[in-house]
Chains A and B, each alone.
Chain A
Amino acid sequence: MIADLFAANVIIGILTSGIRLATPYLYASIGETFGQLSGVLNLGVDGMMLMGAYAGFYVTFHTGNPWLGLLVAILVGALMGLAMAFISVTLKAEQGISGIGVYLFGLGMSDLLFQKTLGTVETVSGFAPLNIPLLSDIPVLGTVFFSHNILVYGAFLLVPVAWFILNKTTLGLKIKAVGQNPAAADALGVSVARVRYATVTLGGALAGLAGASLSIALLNVFQQNLTSGMGFIAVALVYFGGWTPTGVLLGSLLFSSVNALQLWVQILGIPIPSDFAVMMPYVLTILALIFAVRKVNQPASLSKVFERGEG
């Protein structure tokens, strides 16, 4: 039975779905990376993903246009990011607690809207797979890497883009400086509040996008608590990735591959209780956080409110 896992088609299947499943994690955790690097710990990612997932699904369901759904999902996410920025930067609320508040709001609100506007689980035809000419014809590799829908490609493209912004632009320098020593940035005339508003709003937009990638590209359904905690995993992946886009990429792939593996374990009917299989990714996250996290890069002012003139 276990040997079934090593059949060629199963391995290809695991790899392919591993790459697919990394999509929502990548969007959400790259967005969270920006926020955390600037010093804001946003624990509301999961709530933002749920709202994005619902909004994207609802618009696509009614218009039949997934692009419009995607746009609305991003806007809804950005709006929630803006709210989180307002709470944590302007109102200076405790970030851990207010993030959980934002999560609970998103969880409840998306469910309420779902009950009132849809009522039952529907499906949409979201983004269809996009076979990249020539490349997708390569045996094995083509299936694994080049026959996904556009949001999957977008997620992987986001990694070098984020790296470039963080390391090669003045904005990236500001973000890192504000997260490491906001007083220093402030003393040089950088607006700590504006940078943090920008990163947290961007993080929200990407969380909305992450949610939409589930509801209109990967699963094409919406239901209560569709994400089932993915947003929290995304927060953990930022720690795991050591606050770098490449680290986050590695973490997302590892996590989604284990997830894909456990799915196949269930599909193949391998006699491991399914509860244990489902647990695997989460246990892995905890182990990874214990053993793999190098706190060297941790933004020194992460989750600390900035007040000018203190200290």
Chain B
Amino acid sequence: MSLPVTHKIDSVALRNIVKRFPGVIASDHVNFDVKAGEIHALLGENGAGKTTLMRILYGLYQPDEGEILINGKPVAIRSPADSIQLGLGMIHQHFMLVPTLSVAANVALGLKSSRGLLLDLEVVSQRLRALSETYGLRVDPDAMVWQLAVGEQQRVEILKALYRGAALLILDEPTAVLTPQEVDELFVTLRRMAAEGHSLIFISHKLHEVLAISHRVTVLRNGRVVQTLNTAETSRKELARLMVGREVMLRVERPEVQFGAPRLVIKDLWVTGDKGLPAVRGTSLQIRSGEILGIAGVSGNGQRELAEAIAGLRKPTQGQILIDGMDVTGWRPEKLILNGLAYISEERFRDGVVKDLTVEENLMLEQHGHAPFARGIFLDFGRIASHTQEMIRDFEIKTPSRQTPLRNLSGGNIQKLILARELTRKPRVLIASQPTRGVDIGSTEYIHSRLVAQRAEQTATLLISEDLDEIRNLSDRIAVMYEGRIMGVLEREDASIEKLGLMMAGVSVESQESG
């Protein structure tokens, strides 16, 4: 292994960058710069063009126009190999790791070995240990990546870049997968790196994080730079307005409702995950009519399997699911739907809609086979047309027509379509998994207000989300799932970020109180 060159980057600037994709301009004459020792946040909604811009800087995309300057000199970045050479590093939102290889092997990949054609993993491990110590990034170089927790995998990603002597680090939504405490740890590392003269670009759509970590912030909207501000001189409210383009309500109105009897009852549920191991381990929950129960927790702790078991997509190995006192354990989805279960899947395109069908067809997916939309084996197109037209209007779905292929709709409108389909059935129980992931703020506001409105309809809602703000804004009670178990259920008023964060890391409510 050759010792990494310590690159000297005083400034990186993007000048008038333009990138067009079929039908959209992802980057529209964007100017952006970052200096040594600076943390510059790139803020914008999903689809605002943050990731595209950074992929251009990192050489994954080629810009149609514009240039990139490093230390004032124009550079050509044709591939990631070029950008690594120039001292750039990128931590992708979806980690770029090979799970079947060790940490050291992941770091060594693509590097020149000190032993020529032979691997020098021992040397890499040694240097990696030193590097971990310098930056406080604890990781075992010999561990296999698939065995590591998400937070550790992220440390491997950062180490990979540092090992290559990166002077500028691009972090694409690095906090999305972390618990609040892990976020704090990450921020400590980032500040230390900035203090040592690294430049950092921090991509996010979370206002409070941007305010907490950055020196400057550039707001992107629809591929354009709205404004670049000094973080110290701005506020959450101003940033939200710049990001969305209008005043935003940061909180939802929650009228008081009277809860009824338990509608959804889960007793000691065990569900097997994709890897053949139990993913849900003895979960018990009760949701009353009119109540929203939020489940917080880092993804991959059994939330998806729990939702799928309730929705009939996965057979529990043990335990019971009751809706209004009726045992529905192991029922087929169709039967569950007829009995008042609605499901908003986190895998929108896998379980929620069919991309190549039209808006109308997608709206009718669940009910097309039943009266009044079908007579025998024939569809009643008249009724279907009027019903879907109503849904499109009521749920403010922006689409050119009922016959438009679904794939032409934005993420937010697709999610509103799913909501329309599920809620017009007047469900008794609603499972909402990551209902606003990847959805613009406008649609998010709308979806939130709809979910809250279901409380007055006496629906029992199970809300699963990684977004703690969403959970805390909407839920009446909050449970945290960790390694397939419920770590405790808190009343809305008691659910502080600290308590939830500890529970997300596996510390139960009881041990928090006793400790």
Contact = CB atoms under 8 A, between A and B. Distances in A.
Interface range on chain B (Cβ under 8 Å from partner) = 20 to 34
B105 interface: yes
A170 B119 contact: yes
B79 interface: yes
B96 interface: yes
9 contacts: A168-B119, A173-B108, A176-B100, A177-B106, A177-B109, A184-B97, A188-B84, A189-B85, A309-B60
B399 interface: no
A187 B94 CA distance: 12
Interface residues of A, number: 25
B100 A180 contact: yes
A190 B111 CA distance: 9
B326 interface: no
Interface string B58-69: 101100000000
B101 interface: yes
A169 B98 CA distance: 17
A225 interface: no
Given A180-B100, A187-B90, A309 B119 contact: no
Interface in A280-310: 297, 300, 308-309
A34 B357 CA distance: 40
A187 B95 CA distance: 11
- B interface SS class: loop
A189 B81 contact: yes
Given A181-B98, A309-B60, A173 B119 contact: yes
Contacts of B117: 169-171
Interface of A: 168-174, 176-177, 180-181, 183-191, 297, 300, 308-309, 311
Shortest Cβ-Cβ A-B pairs, 6 listed: A189-B81, A188-B110, A184-B96, A190-B110, A187-B96, A180-B98
Nearest to B60: A309
A174 B101 CA distance: 11
Nearest to B95: A184
Nearest to A171: B117
Given A188-B109, A190-B109, A308-B60, A177 B101 contact: yes
A177 B98 contact: yes
Contacts of B84: 188-189
B160 interface: yes
A169 B85 CA distance: 22
A184 B60 contact: no
A208 B257 CA distance: 76
Contacts of B58: 187
A184 B98 contact: yes
Nearest to B116: A170
B24 interface: no
A186 B58 CA distance: 12
A172 B108 CA distance: 12
